[in-house]
Chain A
Amino acid sequence: MTVFHFFNCAILTFGPHAVYYSATPLSEYDTLGTSVKAALVYLGTALVKLVCLATFLKVSENDGFDPYQELLKALIGFIDVAGLYFALTQLYHRNISQNHKFQAVGLGWAFADSVLHRLAPLWVGARGLEFTWDYILQGLEANANLVLSISLAALGSLMWLRKNKPKTLIPIIYACAGIVATMPSITSYLRRGLGWHFPKVVGFELFTSLVMAFISWQLFSACQRPSA
């Protein structure tokens, strides 16, 4: 029964990535290599972040919200953005259209994130006899993260790969990218500073991820129109 629960939570956490890959034209154009490279870049970024966090952050005894620490964490979070920049621009991708490039990079990024952050707790915790809702919520969080990563990759590709953008949209693009990039800090503020419970935080993440996805989709199609 408990391995059953683990299986359920694993489907919830990792299933959407596989479904996304097979459902969209990504599978037709065989962009698996791109996703794998993006996952490896994420790994490298995570290691660099880890080293920086270990060096600069001090461990607080209580679980409260410390503004300076959180600011530091947000700054270190921008290393994520740098990693995404590297994955989008510097890596050699086969001749795939921009449309598919950002999707593949975003997918690889989100998959690596889920595996690194959620696989171990799932394996250790969900197989026990004790039942908690945590792992299901974690799976929902992974879904929200997927959407957020793809939006961030879309905005990133807009920022760095597309040369001719309508002038009015540029600040909006950068603002949205900023919001999405600082999403981890926002959720941590909600959890620690305001004391929201996990279900509420996950609900918020899902909502914002859908909103951000919609906005970035509009931006992307708006930027696509002049070149089309």
Chain B
Amino acid sequence: MAASKKSGGPRDMLESMYSVIALFFILVACVELCDAAAVVDVYRLIQYDMSGSPFGSRFASLNHHAASLHFPPGADLSRTVLIIPLRELNITFVREYIFQKKPLGGLLFLLPEVFSFENGGNKQIHEKEKMKNVLAELEQLLIHANIPYPVYFAFENDEIETVLADIKKNDAIGQPATATTGGYKLVIPAPEPKKVASPTITNIQGWLSGLKADGEANQLPTIAIVASYDTFGAAPALSVGTDSNGSGIVALLEIARLFSLLYSNPKTRGRYNLLFGLTSGGPYNYNGTQKWLRSFDQRLRESIDYAICLNSIGSWDNELWIHVSKPPENAYVKQIFEGFSNVAEELDLKVGLKHKKINISNPRVAWEHEQFSRLRVTAATLSELSVAPDILEGTGGLFDSRQFVNETAIIRGVKLVAESLARHIYGHQGKNVQIFAGDSSLAVNPAYVRSWLDLLSRTPRVAPFLSKNDPFVTALKKELADHTDEVNVQHENLEGMFTFYDSTSVRLNIYQVASVTFDLLLLLVLGSYLIVLFSFLVITTRGLDDLISLFRRPPSRKVKTA
């Protein structure tokens, strides 16, 4: 027993030694700890292909020196990242750089904190409108350009401010940061962006059945209320689209809630079915709406009396527009418009009618109602915008944040739509009856509107990055299920013109680096220090002769051998 214990002893010790050595090597290997001067969350410019042409920023990883806008003219910026705060943005400068394809290491735009949905909600800044316009213009420029270097957005905070001030000081002296002069280095260790495989769009529909009299064989007529819920913007991780189309979603949910209250009692249930649709794929020519409509069977589609699409009703003052594709002389259009105008007069606001013909051969679908019209269903879009937006414009970009949306506007919009629909359903057109009166149990609930608006203004909703089981989609489904009889979810693939790439939100490390000349200088200083120390010690302990003898070979030996 003692012998085996003895032989086991050294072996055990050896094993424990191996494990210690292994641990040591592991520790040594993973010492690339992040000890940067600053670590910032940054959001990448969107990268997508439209009909095969590449757009957006094509790269994600970054490892270059930083410079500010005050760089000395004529400096080589092909390995430099320009940090541009929005306040100092000169749009012509950026346009020039992008269109003339000047080489650049990268771009980092600093947005004022007020646009952040996490902290900046209540801050006031000067010239909010001007900054909003600048940001909108920048966004349009970046989305439609093909940029062969990384472009990132970040929010200003104290750390970045100090770093930027330092960089500006260095640039002012005329010393842009390169490998030999030190400065700041921006490092983002992101892998190559990959295509998002088969992006899905999810359409959610809620059905509220009307009152069918006994013995009635025919299908009841249906009224559809539709809003698209996804967004598209320059930075997909920041595209919350509070107005486009968060306001529409909130309005739809509130209308659903009001009508579910009415329809819950058979005595007040109308003789119209109500179909609520939350569609996706809005920015991509309302692809989702088209697929949703195609999935209906013929009878249902024919039973739709008309559809009202809601698009951006969050920041208007006194005027809303109803956009139609059928000519205004059409009886149905007239009916809808009159209904809305009557209610609008009572609510002290104006409603205008805009007609835009559809061109079947043109794939561009500017309004959601056009998808209905292409399938011969009467439809109209209610919006604060008077002109149809261009492709990928007005789809909820960086500037579309909470402070620019007015919940009173949404409440008035809800009142307008709900009253008009209710008067049509219950046959009270033209009569001065307030169904959703201000102090009744059917009043529009401002708290509901506000809480959903706040949630929407914090949730980026770019469709390719919303998975099938995304919690937000599930939340919408649940909310609609609360207010309707039956909810259906349709998952489709976003096919066609668009391909998207991932890597939308990463962390930027800012390192303060010393230049190579500094290290060489230090080496020189240390070398001379050690040599001086050596000579000093030799002289004091052994004498000066010993020092000299170290350098001179003894000549006597040579003579002796000869």
- Which A residues contact B (CB, under 8 angstroms)? 1, 4-5, 7-8, 11-12, 15-16, 19-20, 22-25, 123-125, 127-131, 136
Establish whether residues A25 and B35, one from each chain, have CB atoms under 8 Å apart when the complex forms.
no
Chain B residue with minimal CB distance to A22?
B534
A2 CB to nearest B CB, Å: 8
Known: A1-B516, A24-B537, A129-B511. A15 touches B33 (CB 8 A): no
Establish whether residues B36 and A8, one from each chain, have CB atoms under 8 Å apart when the complex forms.
no
User: In the assembly, what is the distance between CA of A22 and CA of B187, in Å?
Assistant: 44
Establish whether residues A124 and B31, one from each chain, have CB atoms under 8 Å apart when the complex forms.
yes
User: In the assembly, what is the distance between CA of A166 and CA of B373, in Å?
Assistant: 114
Contacts of B34 in A (CB 8 A): 128
Q: Which 10 A-B pairs have the closest CB atoms?
A: A23-B537, A131-B514, A129-B511, A24-B541, A4-B519, A130-B511, A23-B534, A23-B538, A19-B534, A8-B522
Residues 485-539 of B contacting A (Cβ, < 8 Å): 509, 511-514, 516, 519, 522-523, 526-527, 529-530, 533-535, 537-538
Known: A19-B533, A23-B538, A25-B541. A130 touches B519 (CB 8 A): no
Establish whether residues A19 and B530, one from each chain, have CB atoms under 8 Å apart when the complex forms.
yes
B431 CB to nearest A CB, Å: 73
Name 16 A/B residue pairs within 8 A (Cβ), A-sorted. Answer: A1-B513, A5-B519, A8-B526, A11-B530, A15-B526, A15-B530, A23-B534, A23-B535, A123-B31, A124-B31, A124-B33, A128-B32, A129-B509, A129-B511, A131-B512, A131-B513
**Mostly helix, strand, loop or mixed at chain A's interface?**
helix
User: In the assembly, what is the distance between CA of A203 and CA of B539, in Å?
Assistant: 26
User: In the assembly, what is the distance between CA of A20 and CA of B519, in Å?
Assistant: 24
Chain A residue with minimal CB distance to B518?
A131
Contacts of B31 in A (CB 8 A): 123-124, 127
Q: Does B185 contact A (CB under 8 A)?
A: yes
User: In the assembly, what is the distance between CA of A127 and CA of B35, in Å?
Assistant: 10
Establish whether residues A130 and B512, one from each chain, have CB atoms under 8 Å apart when the complex forms.
yes
Establish whether residues B512 and A12, one from each chain, have CB atoms under 8 Å apart when the complex forms.
no
Chain A residue with minimal CB distance to B536?
A23
Contacts of B516 in A (CB 8 A): 1, 4
Q: Does B37 contact A (CB under 8 A)?
A: yes
Establish whether residues B513 and A20, one from each chain, have CB atoms under 8 Å apart when the complex forms.
no
Contacts of B519 in A (CB 8 A): 1, 4-5, 8
Establish whether residues A23 and B35, one from each chain, have CB atoms under 8 Å apart when the complex forms.
no
Establish whether residues A130 and B541, one from each chain, have CB atoms under 8 Å apart when the complex forms.
no
Chain B 284-309: CB-based contact to A (< 8 A → 1; otherwise 0): 00000000000000000000000000
Contacts of A125 in B (CB 8 A): 35
Chain B 340-352: CB-based contact to A (< 8 A → 1; otherwise 0): 0000000000000
B512 CB to nearest A CB, Å: 6
